[in-house]
């Protein structure tokens, strides 16, 4: 009797809008005859073996940052997996740790947009500094547990130069945090990203995108 096919979690944090990505999906008893995907994404099966399936996924530039279900078509059973689509950015930035004190805050200059992908090492939040002029508008997006590689429940705060909290974003576990902010005055602002349960570790991964509007 043939066992049902099963899929393991993705090996990438997510797919970026406007890009084509080749995924190697792993599992057991795969050998699918095809692949389907929901939403505006397009998928093509490139190669298949008993424990792997190679799939090309095209994500349109206008695709919303949501998760879409991909199915490997199989006569016995058709396993599915969620593909998280991430907000695109012009520049990917590598941060230098530690970031847990205000005097260690990493400077971000979104011109016009940038992305950071990293993890919380411990129960201390990460801090970023944003030099802004009065009237400048930003869109800030943080993705955590919407990716199967992350357990982070993002807690996002924006503070002024005196470290007073101006706005807060929290919510359901597998939903991105999004802030829209207009600087009331010239000055330095601080973006704080932590976990709602104050956890840290390799699976406390997040992707931050800051976009100038």
Q: What is the DSSP string of 62-75?
A: T--S-EEEEEEE-S
- Under the banding of pLDDT at 50, 70 and 90, the label for residue 94 is very high
161-184 pLDDT, tens digit each: 999 999 999 988 889 999 999 999
pLDDT at 1 over 60: no
- pTM for the full predicted model: 0.91
**Average pLDDT over every residue of 89-118:** 93
So where are the chain's domains? 6-86, 91-212
The class (CATH top level) of 91-212 is mainly beta
Nearest to 175 by CA among 191, 153, 156: 153
Nearest to 53 by CA among 4, 7, 12: 7
* Confidence at residue 198, expressed as pLDDT on a 0 to 100 scale: 94
Helix (H, G, I), strand (E, B) or coil at 160: coil
Strand order in the sheet with 113-119: 91-93, 113-119, 205-212, 137-143, 177-182
23-46 pLDDT, tens digit each: 999 999 888 899 999 999 999 999
* Confidence at residue 2, expressed as pLDDT on a 0 to 100 scale: 58
> CB neighbours of 172 closer than 8 A, spacing ≥ 6?
none
- Length of the chain as a residue count: 213
Nearest to 10 by CA among 42, 58, 53: 53
pLDDT at 76 over 90: no
- Report the mean per-residue pLDDT for the chain: 94
**Average pLDDT over every residue of 115-144:** 96
User: Strand 52-58 and strand 91-93: pairing?
Assistant: unpaired
CATH architecture of structural domain 6-86:
Sandwich (2.60)
CB 63 within 8 A of CB 17: yes
């Amino acid at each position: 009797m043939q066992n049902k096919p099963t899929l393991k979690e993705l090996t990438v944090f997510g797919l970026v809008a406007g890009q084509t990505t080749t995924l190697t999906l792993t599992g057991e008893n795969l050998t699918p005859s095809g692949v389907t995907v929901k939403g505006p994404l397009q998928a093509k099966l490139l190669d298949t073996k008993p424990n792997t399936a190679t799939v090309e996924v095209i994500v349109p530039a206008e695709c919303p940052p949501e998760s879409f279900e991909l199915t490997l078509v199989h006569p016995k059973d058709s396993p599915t997996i969620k593909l998280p689509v991430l907000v695109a950015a012009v520049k990917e930035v590598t941060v230098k740790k530690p970031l847990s004190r205000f005097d260690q805050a990493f400077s971000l200059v979104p011109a016009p947009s940038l992305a950071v992908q990293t993890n919380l090492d411990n129960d201390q939040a990460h801090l970023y500094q944003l030099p802004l002029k009065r009237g400048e508008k930003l869109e800030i997006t943080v993705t955590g547990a919407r990716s199967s590689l992350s357990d982070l429940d993002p807690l996002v705060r924006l503070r002024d130069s005196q470290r007073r909290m101006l706005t807060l974003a929290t919510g359901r576990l597998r939903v991105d945090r999004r802030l829209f902010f207009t600087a009331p005055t010239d000055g330095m602002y601080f973006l704080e990203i932590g976990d709602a349960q104050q956890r840290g570790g390799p699976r406390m991964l997040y992707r931050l995108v800051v976009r100038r509007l």
